[in-house]
């Protein structure tokens, strides 16, 4: 068996064993509990610095993405007739846009799930 196949098999076994281990502990969360205003205030107090860090990283990533989009545009314009350079520039732009969508949509998806 190849080395990658062994790691895949080991990973699948671990993914199957972990939920069983947690279920055996009996520490399942009760989904019908209500949250008191004090608990909500404590959670918001903990979450506030996390959101500040997330916003900082989001805006830095947006600035870096703008630079890479500029690079991809210049690379596309200067590619001339070389299809490999043109495709590389298109891929850079596509990946930058996908990355921006993930970064900016993450809190929306989390709020949708919660």
List Cβ neighbours of 70 (8 Å cut-off, separation of 6 or more): none
Q: What is the mean pLDDT of each run of 10 residues along the chain (114 residues)?
A: 67 66 59 84 89 92 96 94 93 96 89 78
Q: What is the pLDDT of residue 17?
A: 62
Question: Has this prediction a pTM greater than 0.85?
Answer: no
Q: What is the pLDDT of residue 80?
A: 87
Cα 99 to Cα 112: distance, rounded to the nearest angstrom: 20
Q: How far is CA 88 from the centre of its chain?
A: 24
């Amino acid at each position: 068996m190849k080395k990658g196949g062994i790691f895949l098999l080991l990973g699948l076994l671990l993914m199957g064993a972990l939920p069983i281990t947690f279920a055996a502990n009996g520490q399942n969360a009760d989904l019908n509990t209500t949250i008191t205003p004090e608990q909500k205030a404590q959670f918001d107090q903990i979450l506030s610095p996390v959101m500040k860090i997330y916003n900082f990283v989001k805006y830095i990533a947006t600035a870096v993405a703008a630079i890479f989009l500029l690079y991809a545009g210049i690379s596309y314009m200067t590619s001339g007739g070389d299809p490999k350079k043109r495709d590389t520039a298109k891929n850079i732009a596509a990946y930058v846009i996908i990355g921006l969508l993930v970064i900016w949509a993450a809190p929306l998806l989390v709020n949708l799930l919660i």
